[in-house]
Structure 1
Amino acid sequence: MANKFLELLKTRDWLLADGATGTNLFEVGLQTGDAPELWNVDEPEKIYNLQKSFVDAGSDIILTNTFGGTRNRMKLHKAQDRVAEINAAAVKITKRVADQADRPVIVAGSMGPTGDIFEPVGSLSREDGIAAFREQAFALAEAGADVLWLETISAPEELEAAVTACSETGLPIVTTLSFDTNGRTMMGLTPADFARRVKELSPVPVAYGANCGVGASEMVTALQNMAMCSEEGDVLVSKSNCGIPEYVDGAIRYTGTPELMAEYARIAVDSGIKIIGGCCGTTPNHVRHMREALDNHTRGAKPSLDEIVSRLGEISNGARAMNEAGPLGAKPTEPVTGGGKKRRGRDPKRKAADDGKFPGEV
């Protein structure tokens, strides 16, 4: 049977993904430190309503509410034995939304990092990492996901383990890293590093790119750096945060306006990115403006670094230096080890909610 996601990739010039899950759920009652994945069982209509609002706004791809759906994450909420139940419930909700749409809508099984650092720096073995991802991947696949969507990964060891596990399901794989530390991931990878390393994975994901990060200008710059080491026919993915988080009246609000996210969508297409969406802070209204922008946009020349900055805002010195150096100057790096000290790591999106500091995307 043909895969709906792969078929849509063949027939469309671009695809619009959805926006944020966690930051939008905070608006309807999710509390800091809560597991949004439990809402697939406890508050399914709230998940349905959010996802339907993204489809109504124009999204072609909806990620399931399963970012923290491995047993490693669910253990923080004493739900490590409910992985299959919670992930299957999430797919059921998203399939309901997709099936009711008047156009093809892709159900993407979201899989975030385990939150543990892999050996030899950390304590998580490759085998245990693969087992955790395998359990979640099969739960998503057997419930009917069209594609497995690995997001917010930072370390090459975790990426390889996740892809290995997901490959056993036979579903297409998409993977995105988060570049949020002066143009690099938390573990030191540059976008160009990633473009090289992704070709060494087995199987090679059908699409790859970046999500989360520190805003639209940094995101597009990262993807342009990644494209320097990509190959013809590669499908690039960009799912940018909606600006920068700021405290406003005691709550976190993101600075990106609907107009800025529309401009980001146009620049992303001109930069050769095929799958475009939003991450933290991106609401259905932002997505609606992105859809209108894409529907009415004629593809133009790839924007220069100066043009990206003038239209979307400043970028970090690290991101600028890597882009200006080109593919030969952006050499592969070794993962950051923190001086060899073993520690438990958490991805940037989930850390905020677990620590109770501010309600970031989860």
Structure 2
Amino acid sequence: MHFKRVLQTILIGGFLVLGTFGLFAQDYYLYVAAESDDQVHLIHFDGESQQGKITETIDVGTWPQENEGPHGLNISPDGEHWFVSIAHGMPYGSLWKYKTGTNEYVDEVELGLFPATMDISSSTGLLYVVNFNLHGDMEPSTVSVVEPETMMRLDDIETGIMPHGSRVTDDGTRQYHVSMMTDELIEIDTKTLEVSRRLKLGKDTDNSHQTMTASSHMNHSDHGKMVHNPVEKPTWADPHPTKPLVYVAGNGSDEILEVDTKKWEVTKRWDTGKAPYNLEISHDGKLLVATYKGEGATGVWDLKKGEELAKIPNSRKVSHGVTISPDNKFAFISVEGIGGEPGSVDIINLQTLKRVDVVETGKQAGGIIFWKMDS
């Protein structure tokens, strides 16, 4: 953590003392995608003035006359590159790679139908992106595995229907995502590149048969039998940074679910605002920040107490993504807007639990990812 030094005069024991004292002040940088404008914005937030602004707008996509839909974003572990999933294609979407700072295009690779969210394993170095298949048939989709240095697609792992919320554990050994239309949390072994376990999220579900092995895969007909009026309709999964827990956004059931990965069962259910969509756990593991897409608000939860500390109205309707600064002081929320409205990034101070600024963006602000902090 860096500090800006300021010259101050203070009174100590009746004497004036002139000196420099460290005051917290940071520059924060993040990327957000404007899906309906085919743009990605680089945003700078001044932690001292608590004001943000767009410093650069990057046009993405190939065809100016078509909306190609930049959706998910992520940053390489070394901070040198950023990646964006281009959701629409003919028919397949793609993954594009850019240089951070200069925002120069580097390379791209074709993926599946409507590629969405992604994460990179600290263990394997590979990138795992879910193919959400928003406009395709209701059939099992895939998680594409990409080697980000060469931008080679190494594998497509069959998963559930409409997968979303790709997040990897801090040790890089497990990738978690959800299957929206089969009410499942799915775990991938990042080294074997195979589904290791599936967990049905319904309240009255028997999960005794859900563990998968390398020689025991479900075929398409098996998946088809699992589709029956999804209730939870999960849209996001985020593993806890230090505990064997994964938190899931139940978009259809208006709840957050806590899953114990050792017991492989749902251990807690918290009622939330309408239609929680994305969520992120603070890096110290104390807070969970969730967007409530159905009511244009953001919830901040104390994980130890299981209590919602605040529900903060967003600047407009259709709340989308969330990313938290590494110092756990600020949450940045992407808000889509409705119709022809611009999107926005709402900035929430996690100490005061207040919204401190709003940065206007292009239409349908969605994917959002933190890049770096500078002094």
Q: Would you call these one fold, judging by a TM-score over 0.5?
A: no
Whose strand fraction is larger, Structure 1's or Structure 2's?
2
Whose helix fraction is larger, Structure 1's or Structure 2's?
1
Question: Whose RCO is larger (CA < 8 A, sep 6+)?
Answer: 1
Instruction: Please report the TM-score for the alignment, with normalisation by the length of structure 1.
Output: 0.32
